[in-house]
Each structure stands twice: as C-alpha cells, then as structure tokens.
Amino acid sequence: MPIHCFDQSISLPSVDENHNNTDYTLCRYDENDWIFTLLPVYILIISVLGIILNVFVLMIYWLHKTACNVAEIYLSNLAAAHLFLMSSLPFWAVNVQKRYDWNLSETLCKLVPFSISMNADCSIYILVLVSIDRYLTLVHPLTHGRMRSPFYAKLACVVVWAVCFLLNVPVLIYREVEHYPEKNVSRCFLSYSDQTDKVVSILNVILKFIIPIFIMSFCTLKIIQAVRSRLRERFSTQGKEQKATTLILAVLLAFLICWVPFHVFKILDLLSRYNIVGGCEFRLGWFQQIFIFLAFFNSVLNPILYVCVGRNFRRKVKETFSQISNRRKSTFSLLTTCANLSRSVKTENATS
C-alpha cells in the first residue's frame, strides 16, 4: 500500500514498500536531504505572504463603497480559496520538517490535506469560471449578456465550492494515521489499495488538469482573437472590459506557469507506475513534492498581479484608503465638536 503526502498522489520514497530493492537503491535520497530543511522554510514564507496579501485583497473588495462586479466576485472567491489554502500549509511545513513523522491528531491528518486539496481545486475551477466569463464578455457579448449578472456569478461560485467539497470527501474518509514501530514514526496517508490509488490518480489528472486546462486554453485563445479583432477595428468603447481582460489573462498565465510543471511530473509518475515509461518513480515523486509548492506560490502571485496589472483594483485601493481616511477625519471632527460643546456647557454652568 503506497503512502502519500497529499491527495495528489505524491509518494514518500522513505516508506513506500511496493517497490523492489533495486529501484530503491538507485533512487534513494540522503537522510539529510535539503528538502527537509529548506522546503519547510519556503512553505512558511509563502504561507505568511499568502495570508497577508489575500486578506488585503478581500478587505479591499469588502470595504469598497461599490458592490463587486462579476469579475470581482470571481476574483474575491479566488482570493478566499487562496487564503484557506495558505492557512493550512504551516501544518504541512511542520510535517515536512519532521520528515513526515505525523505528531498531530488524526482529525488534523484528515482536515489539513482536505483543506489543501479542496481549496486548490476551488482555485482551479474558479479560474475556469473567470476564463468562461471573459470568453462570454468578449466573444458573445450580446447573446449571453443576461448570464453575466452578479447573481449568476455568486451561484456559480457556490456550485464550485460545493462540487470541490464533494470531490474531496474521500480525503476525510480514507486519510488516517498509522504508526510504524520498527522506524518509530507515524504517517498521515491515504489508505487506498494500490489499484484504487491508480484509478484516483487518473481521475485527478483528468478532472483537475486536463479538463480545466482545455477549457481555459480554448477560452484564452478566443479571448486573444477577440481582443486583436477589436484593436484592429479600433473599438475602444469597452476600455473597462479591456483592462479587466488584461488582468485575467495575466492571472491565467501565472496559473499555467505555476501549476503545469507539477501536473507534468504527476502524469510522468502515473505512466511510470503503469510501466508505460521508464524512470525512477521515487525521483518523480520528489519532483512532485518540489513543484506542488511552486504551484502554491500562485496564491502569493495573484494578489501581486492585481496591484501591478489591475488598474481597476489599484483605483479601488486608493478609493478605499480615501474612504477610511475621510471616516477618521469625520470621526475626529465629531469628537472635537462634542468636546467643545461639553466644555462650553461646563463653562456656562460654572458662570451661572
């Protein structure tokens, strides 16, 4: 039975007992591997940055005087998924630092991977919604205009959260802690059979990579064609939509850069387990370990893109801080007026 770090089927080379000794000798890693020292520090850094930056994004959308439009509803849900994901990573940083010796409760063994996997899935499918929204806006602006309302955007987000929750229920059911007395360690792993694990891995690749990438790629190509067509026609009446589209394309590109390497190695690992391609399955597992945390850096990168690329977001930031400043000034003015009135009343009472 293979032991897994994540729901994404990342094998632990130190405890996987289904491989022959030859493979283990060829692919063995040093016990003092740098992955156990540098990776936890990296995870903690991106966790802190991700929490701060995504809280900032959510506060701007929440405090701004105007309601969110359709694109902003999707981006705020994306920030929420990133925030929950980043909040769960410190637990896994501790687990990596302890060489995957799980010292926490079995409840956390279920909840932490569930939160990581579910919110990663939510971020992927919310990006699918974002790309579909941009596609409808630019390619079919008239025929599907009614579908682009805040109500339908919120409903779509609720459906995505619900579906991603259901997809990850098996993590809550099959995650468990098992103690290995001969090594004096406890592992948090998915208790699938080897055959079930392979089926789940194939479904994960299809549902969490191939289908979303196909939809996003199709929509992105159509969006780029529509933008070029409008530029050729000098159609500038949709300047606001153009700015939003630039931000969305940057977010989609960042997603591809961060997530594709992990899924490529995951597919190679799956093909290796079926003996379709040769290679070291342990080494592929470690590459997955590294690239999954590169993928999580996407949660830090998106808020930075909002500020650097999103003109509308920068405007909202300025307006929000202006609102807060004006409220403070009005509150201070009110307190000063009350204090002056109180002094004048006391003075009149004293003189009378």
Express each pLDDT in 13-69 by its tens digit: 333 333 333 333 334 445 447 778 888 999 999 999 999 999 999 999 888 878 888
Q: Contact, 223 vs 245, CB < 8 A?
A: yes
**Token duo for residue 181:** 């007395």
Q: Which CATH architecture has domain 21-309?
A: Up-down Bundle (1.20)
Identity of residue 62:
W
Question: Going by C-beta distance under 8 Å and a sequence separation of 6 or more, which residues neighbour residue 17?
Answer: 1
C-alpha dihedral sign at 114, 120, 124, 125: positive
3-state secondary structure of 17: coil
Q: Provide the residue-wise pLDDT of the chain in tens; the chain has 352 residues.
A: 333 444 333 333 333 333 333 333 334 445 447 778 888 999 999 999 999 999 999 999 888 878 888 888 999 999 999 999 999 999 989 988 888 889 889 999 999 999 999 999 999 999 999 999 888 888 887 766 667 788 999 999 999 999 999 999 999 999 999 988 888 889 998 888 878 888 888 898 899 999 999 999 999 888 888 877 776 665 554 555 666 677 788 888 888 889 988 888 888 888 887 777 765 555 666 777 778 888 899 999 988 888 777 777 888 888 888 877 766 666 656 666 666 666 665 666 666 5
Quick check: helix, strand or coil at residue 185? strand
Alpha-carbon distance 188 to 181, whole Å?
15
Domain boundaries, the chain: 21-309
Cβ(222)–Cβ(258) below 8 Å: no
Predicted model pTM: 0.80
- Cβ distance 127 to 220 under 8 Å? no
DSSP one-letter code for 175: E
Rounded CA separation 264/330 (Å):
56
